[in-house]
Structure 1
């Protein structure tokens, strides 16, 4: 066997930062070369290691901005809800009732039901928070947001919705609203968060979904009947606020057991 074909000879490791590289991975380029090369392309900002720093910065900024908002509830709903519509007015009342109870309101910061909840919060002299997301459509934060944070990454943003809230109130909405709703249900079901009420507002809107879960998922054995206890459905904004506040006896991510 030739020298070049000797696996032991060709597998001498080379250190590159925290990495140990062998064989073809042991490239001769060094990280400092790219760092100090001012003439190189700017594509490095789109590499995965660089994205990790961006992701980290979103968590740091979110944690820092929201750490002192106090007791809060996250309110979700469609960005397409029209001002003056019944769902919009429900959102305004939810925000106002939460503010009057001394509770901050966290929304996605967009238009529609999110704007409605932020508006009601401001009208009730409460803390109005909006967590925006970079999208190819929809405008930026609505005018009723007093504390706004813009995110690039959905998962960083969704962490803030849960970490700094004592519960969710969910108005009628589309795919984004359903995404947030079902993720919250899974987190509670798997006890990743505890003492975390989820209240749906609008019996006529949410009723068919509940019946589908019961008639299909439960009937097929995909979920258990008790999983439906993870959510409550009401029609009255005041009742939604009352239920989420009285059930939210402890913040999420604390490890306490959910009340039976």
Structure 2
């Protein structure tokens, strides 16, 4: 991070602690509500026309020559060939791979982008009329979970973990349907899953052993499609394109 960035960050922190009048706070918050509403309305109207898809989460930092980028591209290709649309965060890395695979597979390719100071920018493989932009993470996450038929989670960082645990929490608490959560890459996810099992569940009893059944771990594109197809066959459903 450059020195100028540290200065900007210091200014942002100081700005948060500046004394403001109640009228200033109320006015700023009230106008923010309209921006939030506009993002929800635009998101709902656009996604309702597209219909449910499969969300692919993963790191924006993964390069095209990395095995997980290439695996994500193959997964998205196979998913689209099986009749599922694909939603990603719309940016580079794993997100780009997901949209690229869906694009080459002739399927629906949706991007839900977020304004960030680094890393994030639209990738070129999103369908022209299926490209949404958000300022607010929480609005964007609502679009992911509301219009997802399943969640394919590739290796990633804090953002990927946030999206994973958001989906897990909503399914665990029955706020959304029990759609499949598929973690790709057992070498990447095994440590986290072992910690959840031994620490969260067995040592502290902060979750139920049954909750582990909400997660499937796979290592290739065929297993992803098999997991999705098994879910829809079980409930006599079919993919919505």
Give the TM-score band, short-chain normalised: 0.7 to 0.9
Separation in structure 1 between the aligned mates of residue 89 and residue 27 of structure 2, nearest angstrom: 26
- Structure with max Cα Rg: 1
What is the TM-score normalised by the length of structure 1?
0.77
1:84 Cα shift? 1.9
Give per-residue Cα distances to partners, 1:47-73, cap 9 Å, x unaligned. Answer: 111111111110110111111223410
Q: Given that residues 113 and 134 in structure 2 are in contact (C-alpha distance below 8 angstroms), is that contact kept between their aligned partners in structure 1?
A: yes
1:84 is aligned to: 65
Specify which of 176, 181, 202 is matched with residue 185 of structure 2.
202
1:150 is aligned to: 133
1:38 is aligned to: none
Give per-residue Cα distances to partners, 1:155-188, cap 9 Å, x unaligned. Answer: 1100000111111000001100000001110000
Tell me, yes or no, if structure 1 residue 243 matches structure 2 residue 233: no
1:215 Cα shift? 1.2
Runs (4+) of structure 1 exceeding 6 A deviation are 43-46
Q: Given that residues 169 and 244 in structure 1 are in contact (C-alpha distance below 8 angstroms), is that contact kept between their aligned partners in structure 2?
A: no
Q: Which has the higher contact order (CA 8 A, sep 6+)?
A: 2
Alignment of 1:109-128 (within 5 A): 109-128=90-109
Q: Give secondary structure in 2 for the equivalent of 1:80.
A: coil
2:172 is aligned to: 189
1:135 Cα shift? 0.9
2:148 is aligned to: 165
1:60 is aligned to: 41
Gaps of 5+ in 1: 1-24, 28-42, 252-260
Q: Given that residues 168 and 244 in structure 1 are in contact (C-alpha distance below 8 angstroms), is that contact kept between their aligned partners in structure 2?
A: no
1:230 is aligned to: 214
1:136 Cα shift? 1.1
What is the TM-score normalised by the length of structure 2?
0.83
Specify which of 196, 210, 213 is matched with residue 196 of structure 2.
213
Q: Given that residues 183 and 216 in structure 2 are in contact (C-alpha distance below 8 angstroms), is that contact kept between their aligned partners in structure 1?
A: yes
Cα RMSD (Å) of the superposition? 2.1
